[in-house]
Amino acid sequence: MERIKLYMLLERLEVLTVTGGCESEMEIQQITSDSREIVKGGLFIAVRGFETDGHRFIEDAVGKGAVIVVCQELPGTIHEAVCYVVVRDSRRSMAQLAKRFYHDVADTLHIIGVTGTNGKTTTARLMVAMMNDCGIRTGYIGTGLALVGEETVLLGKTTPEAEVLHRLFSMMAERGCKAVVMEVSSHALVLQRTHGIGFTGAVFTNLTQDHLDFHHTMERYAEAKQLLMDAVDPEGFVVVNADDPWAAFMVKKRGNADLYCCTVGHKQFACREGMDIRARIIKAEMQRTEVEIEAGGRKYECGFRLPGLYNVMNLLEVFAAGIAMGLQPEPVIDCLATASPVEGRMEIISGATGEFSAVVDYAHTPDALVKVIETLNELKPPDRALIVVFGCGGNRDRDKRPKMGSAAAKGADRVIITSDNPRDEDPDDIMDDIAEGVSSASFHRFGSRAEAIRCGVNLMKKGDILLVAGKGHENYQEVAGVRRHFSDRETITAALVARNA
């Protein structure tokens, strides 16, 4: 990639002051906000964070070869050979710099953002599969990973920092992608990781309680999600879950010119004629759902490989985005029929004899747990039991814990509380919070997730279903800041083998 020169980077930045050795023709080798990653000839952006202040690492970055420092306040020590650029907002500047550094490649791609509390990964991955299958070469950025052509890049954050985002866009464009589907988290929107991206489309899945540790109120959480709708190009499109009470709020500033409204139930919000997309289930099975979709005055039958009404909504949103992207309904339906389910979302783990079934799912919010439990209760024989094993993450929204406890107590025949990723919290405190919501119902409790899963497996009678929720695809457990290998799927399989033996 051709290296960008300093003056090109500064052109679009809202600069307050420039100090020191700033040669405008200087080529920049790299930009980063992490001093640990800086290389010689790089640009370091000092960000005031929640944990620490990037300004503390300016000297460290310069020592490692940073030639430009972008900051909100000049450091005490100024090196003559280094160029110091003071800006009002480092996070915003980082997004502007990252986009420019990668030659504004973001402007050449159709970027579709998916936001909402639950269902982003499911919807986005389904959409990527559909678009690739229908002939639009499309990349993906979201929970755990990015798909760049044939390559998989592992990610820490669902929506990475701007520098990583634009680097991924650049790699995708190089590999012939015309479009990108990306999950846009509320954290990313507030922290301006996606600032400056002109989205071709946005999808709003739903809004229910999560992340109130960060946003504090549902209104502020909603305002964060709404920022994605504002970032859609005027000629772009928006798809909303019209059954969600927050749908109208999401599109309040946009009007309904290119707005697609999906509904599987009681619509809270209406669109222009022809843009309403409705579905109902014809046949529901654990690994396949047949639906009838009504769109633009026509009816289509469509099957796909996921269970539950909530997944029908995810499917409809993908269908709507396909239409908005100019695809025909029939090929979209054909592509959706074969798309693979996402790992760790309603993933069935069967024992050797097939008599006992366990399901791994990533439900880590009250609404997700309610929906998954509802779906499993609808699909299992009425005389069989549903056993639920789950915990809640540490250093995250505490208020959701009793609500998840209550969801499990209401819907499951047996409840087993355990640890998720306690992070820096005491696992017992987290389990106490969950237990408050379980109230009088009896439950088991194990600090060890492996033990909890073994208990669940051993409690199962023939035909029962065990749901292990909260960690889905995750292959680690984070305790006291340390990540160790842990997989719900592997633990269940081992427990089923032990039981069958």
Ligand X SMILES: Nc1ncnc2c1ncn2[C@@H]1O[C@H](COP(=O)(O)OP(=O)(O)OP(=O)(O)O)[C@@H](O)[C@H]1O
Ligand Y SMILES: CC(=O)N[C@H]1[C@@H](OP(=O)(O)OP(=O)(O)OC[C@H]2O[C@@H](n3ccc(=O)[nH]c3=O)[C@H](O)[C@@H]2O)O[C@H](CO)[C@@H](O)[C@@H]1O[C@H](C)C(=O)N[C@@H](C)C(=O)N[C@H](CCC(=O)O)C(=O)O
Ligand Z SMILES: N[C@H](CCC[C@H](N)C(=O)O)C(=O)O
Which residues define the annotated binding site?
35, 116-122, 158-159, 185, 193, 396, 420-423, 470, 474
Q: Specify the pairing of strand 444-445 against strand 357-361.
A: unpaired
Question: For 94-115, b where at least 16 C-beta lie within 10 A, e where not — what string?
Answer: bbbbbbbbbbebbeebbbbbbb
Site for Mg ion in 168-197 (CB under 5 A): 183
User: Which partner, ligand X, Mg ion, ligand Y, none, binds residue 202 by CB below 5 to 8 Å per kind?
Assistant: none
- Say if residues 322 and 138 touch (Cβ distance below 8 Å): no
Residues 6+ apart with CB under 8 A from 81: 20, 21, 67
Kindly state whether residue 72 participates in binding ligand X, applying the rule CB under 6 A. Answer: no
Kindly state whether residue 158 participates in binding ligand X, applying the rule CB under 6 A. Answer: yes
Kindly state whether residue 79 participates in binding ligand Y, applying the rule CB under 6 A. Answer: no
Q: Token pair 């010119």 is at which residue?
A: 257
CB count in 10 Å sphere of residue 273:
8
* DSSP 3-state of 262: strand
Least gap, CB of 50 to ligand Y (angstroms): 4
Give the residue with the Cβ less far from ligand Y, 24 or 52.
Answer: 52
Least gap, CB of 77 to ligand Z (angstroms): 37
Measured CA to CA, the distance from residue 438 to residue 408 in angstroms comes to: 7
- Say if residues 276 and 303 touch (Cβ distance below 8 Å): no
User: Which partner, ligand Y, ligand Z, ligand X, none, binds residue 159 by CB below 5 to 8 Å per kind?
Assistant: ligand Y
CA dist 249 → 43, 80, 254 (Å): 39, 51, 10
Site for ligand X in 172-191 (CB under 6 A): 183
- Over the window 138 to 177, marking each residue x when it contacts ligand Y by CB under 6 A and - when it does not, the resulting string is -------------------xxx------------------
* DSSP 3-state of 431: helix
Closest Cα to residue 73, out of 90, 59, 60? 90
Partners of 485 in the beta sheet? Answer: 476
* DSSP 3-state of 467: strand
Kindly state whether residue 122 participates in binding ligand X, applying the rule CB under 6 A. Answer: yes
User: Which partner, ligand Y, ligand Z, Mg ion, none, binds residue 157 by CB below 5 to 8 Å per kind?
Assistant: ligand Y
Kindly state whether residue 120 participates in binding ligand X, applying the rule CB under 6 A. Answer: yes
Kindly state whether residue 188 participates in binding ligand Y, applying the rule CB under 6 A. Answer: yes
Give the residue with the Cβ less far from ligand X, 99 or 120.
Answer: 120
- Over the window 363 to 392, marking each residue x when it contacts ligand Z by CB under 6 A and - when it does not, the resulting string is -x----------------------------
Amino acid at position 232, single letter:
V
Partners of 36 in the beta sheet? Answer: none
Residues that bind ligand X (CB under 6 A): 118-122, 143, 158, 183, 205-206, 310, 313-314, 345, 361-363, 367-368, 371-372, 472
Residues that bind ligand Y (CB under 6 A): 33-36, 47, 49-52, 54, 57, 157-159, 185, 187-188
Residues that bind ligand Z (CB under 6 A): 158, 364, 393, 396, 420-421, 470-471, 474
